[in-house]
Structure 1
Amino acid sequence: MKRSTLRLAAAIGLATALAAPAFAADTLQTIRERGKIICGTSPGVAGFSLQDANGRWEGFDTDICRALAAIIFNDTEKAAFVPLTSKDRLIALQAGEIDVLPRTTTWTLARNAGQGVTFTAVNYYDGQGFMVTKKLGVTSAAQLGGASICVAQGTTSELNLADYFRKLGAEYEPAAFSTSEEAMKAYEAGRCDAYTTDVSALSAVKMKLQAPDAHVILPEIISKEPLGPWVRTGDETWFNLVRWTVFALVNAEELGITKANLQEMLKSPNPEIKRFLGRDGKMGEAMGVSNDWVVRVIAAVGNYGESFERHLGAKSRLHLARGPNELWSRGGIQYSPPFR
């Protein structure tokens, strides 16, 4: 082989090695050897991820992590949670400090390209809004020209805010804070006229204010915020397992399989249900887990609708409507690819 060819091969090998993200080789095996899965979470957003009185993490996002722990260990308590700020969340994932990031993090091109992280699947369709005090006398976001607005740094909310006022042709005074918690406290203290973030988070924040009824969430939705779990780029097996875990929750609801009727559904002669629950075929083995992996997911956290209602919907303190998160067959856009 000529020296020029050898140099070219070496250069290609070096470039490939440099392009490959660290810690992405075999996440599933690393988790098994460690004996637990480590998940990134928010410091505390009601409905999505919040510690209860006993310090146990609960929420719509943490259900994803507990479902993965059930798949791998058949034990939802083998899930550890690391609270991360908006600025630190993707960095922690890139660095291998966590295995997966099921934390209110919007899917965008800039994040998905060139940062060593990959979005898996949408588990919540959200949008950005504004909250103001009723005494401000504002009924529309279009009336916020000249207002000071609290926002968290390192978020899509910060960028959307700037875009919105550029399109509106109005001035505003940004008041950016390191964390969402700091931004919320500054708003409550009257340091800014409005607070902006995802509408679901605004609903959670409003409950924490000393006088919730003194505040109102304005009707405008100024952005698309598809939220869901992230993984490091370069580990296709782990990516597929996390992605299809989200889809399994949705598909279970589509098929009418719940935590309560799971054992009865395991007896179903329906070929689609048999395949989905691992009684026919070897879809689990193809992803490096047991063929009853979907059964473990449903037994642990129920289906998508059950998780939504428990943490965000009618059975929760937030009482959020399903909206676009309703199944596609019921007027929403939540949709699972076929399990076949």
Structure 2
Amino acid sequence: MRTPSQAPSRPSSRSGLSPRVLIAGALSLAIGLALTGAAKAGPTLDAIKARGSIKVGVGTQPGFFSPDSNGRWQGFFVDFGRALSIAVFNNPDKVQFVASSPQQRLPSLQSGEFDILLSGVTQTFTRATKLGFHFGPVVFYDGQGLLVPKKLGVTKGKDLNGATVCVQTGTTGELNITDFFRQNKITFKPVVIEETAENQKAFASGRCDVLTQDSSDLAITRTQLPKPDDYVLLPERISKEPLAPAIRYGDDQWLEIVNWAVYATIQAEELGITQANIDSFLTSADPTIRRFLGVDPSLGEAAKLDPKFAYTIVKTVGNYGEIFDRNVGPATKVGLDRGFNKLWTQGGLLYAPPFR
């Protein structure tokens, strides 16, 4: 038994180092290994780099994604595909766009036909859990809308009491429109048609007063009607359709590249940086701007990206507002208002986490 005058004995180790030093060293090693593991590319990013290009699944709606007369893909979602190409390869053209139908796009992504879906896919609980997809930031806040002839003389959905509505059978749209009219205590007469094209033809022929689909689809449909200016998309959105990039599980670094490439376009708009004025910001003393544009290279180095990846994205495709306005904004044939796709500072939902 130790007497009060005896000093407590210190546990020893074969190395001669105290346990405290050994534990600290072990923790440092573990943290180092964890950070090294986090920096490694996963299977999708490895395949992209080995192939030398990104395979992007898209749809075929003018304004959002469609090839021009020279076969070069153009559109809102296409620009985000080029932003990803810049982030990975520092080149906007290391990307292959592949059209896919709504029925096949998710199975094709799961099977590895694409590296990412930028086809206007809605982020849902089931897709993110049961089906096993990761989603990047929402790039387009959509919702089911209401397209009507101007001659109907209505300005909002609540004015549609007694209207005849063309709706596709067996879709969530059928339930959404029923709920909308019930919640507003008004009535409607459904014209239920199975095929999208036939649904649109019925509306164009005057068989119904209202056509209801996702608002972005309605905007395209409007441009394809014989006299587009005779129709108006009402302001209501009667469902939530957050459209986001989708990738397979299993590649966290690829997901982070997707995230921050999208956020770069939003952050640029928040900072007032555009394609035209971006070079004037390179001499800014603001540390936020210096980090964002790669003048201070610390962020790019930490992410193993070119420090100027955000600069190159904005210089090439523009900020979010420019991408939106150029492809689907009020001055285009699609003619969409920003709506929820405005910055949070302007009453919208777009928000980029800090670049620091």
Residues 150 and 192, structure 1, Cα contact 8 Å, conserved in 2: no
Q: Which residue of 1 aligns with 2:166?
A: 149
The answer as to 2:146 corresponding to 1:130 is yes
RMSD across aligned positions (CA):
2.8
| Paired residue secondary structure (1:98) | coil
Q: Pick from 43, 47, 53: which aligns with 1:36? A: 53
Residue 204 of structure 1 pairs with residue 220 of structure 2: yes
- The structure-2 alpha-carbon separation of the partners of 1:291 and 1:158, relative to structure 1 and needing over 3 Å to count, comes to farther
Instruction: Identify the residue that residue 260 of structure 1 maps to in structure 2.
Output: 276
Q: CA deviation at 1:57?
A: 1.4
Structural mapping, 1:73-84, within 5 Å: 73-84=89-100
* Alignment-mate amino acid for residue 273 of structure 2: I
- What TM-score, normalized to structure 2? 0.77
- Is 1:119 equivalent to 2:135 in the alignment? yes
Correspondence 1:61-80 to 2 at 5 A = 61-80=77-96
Residue 189 of structure 1 and its aligned partner are, at CA, apart by 5.3
**Unmatched runs of 5 consecutive residues or more in structure 1:** 1-23
Counterpart Cα distance in 2 of 1:314 and 1:86:
26
Pairing 1:73-222 to 2, within 5 Å after superposition: 73-133=89-149, 141=157, 143=160, 147=164, 149-151=166-168, 157=173, 160-161=176-177, 163-164=179-180, 172-177=190-195, 180=196, 183-185=199-201, 187-188=203-204, 194-222=210-238
Residue 306 of structure 2 is matched in structure 1 by 290
Q: Per the alignment, do residues 185 and 89 of structure 1 end up closer, same or farther by CA in structure 2, a change over 3 Å counting? A: farther
Q: Which moved more, 1:77-86 or 1:142-151?
A: 142-151
Alpha carbons of 1:186 and 1:231: their partners in 2 closer, same or farther (altered >3 Å)?
A: farther
Q: Deviations over 1:290-331 (max 9, x none)?
A: 222112211220111111121122442333222222212223
What SS does structure 2 have at the residue aligned with 1:334?
coil
The verdict on how the C-alpha distance between 1:321 and 1:280 changes in structure 2, with shifts beyond 3 A counting, is same
**C-alpha deviation, 1:77, in angstroms:** 2.1
Task: Structure 2: state its 5+ residue gaps.
Answer: 1-40
Name the CA distance, whole Å, in 2 between partners of 1:329 and 1:181: 39
Any idea what SS the aligned residue of 2:194 has? Answer: strand
Percentage of identical aligned residues = 43
- Quote the offset at 1:86 in angstroms: 1.8
Question: Residue 163 of structure 2 contacts residue 209 of structure 2 at CA under 8 Å; is this kept in 1?
Answer: no
Shift, 1:133, TM fit: 4.4
> 2:155 & 2:346 partners in 1: Cα distance?
31
Length, aligned pairs only? 313
When Rg is computed on C-alpha atoms for both structures, the one with the higher figure is 2
Matched, 1:274 2:290: yes
Q: 1:27 to 1:288 in 2, by over 3 A?
A: farther
Distance 1:89 1:157, change over 3 A: farther
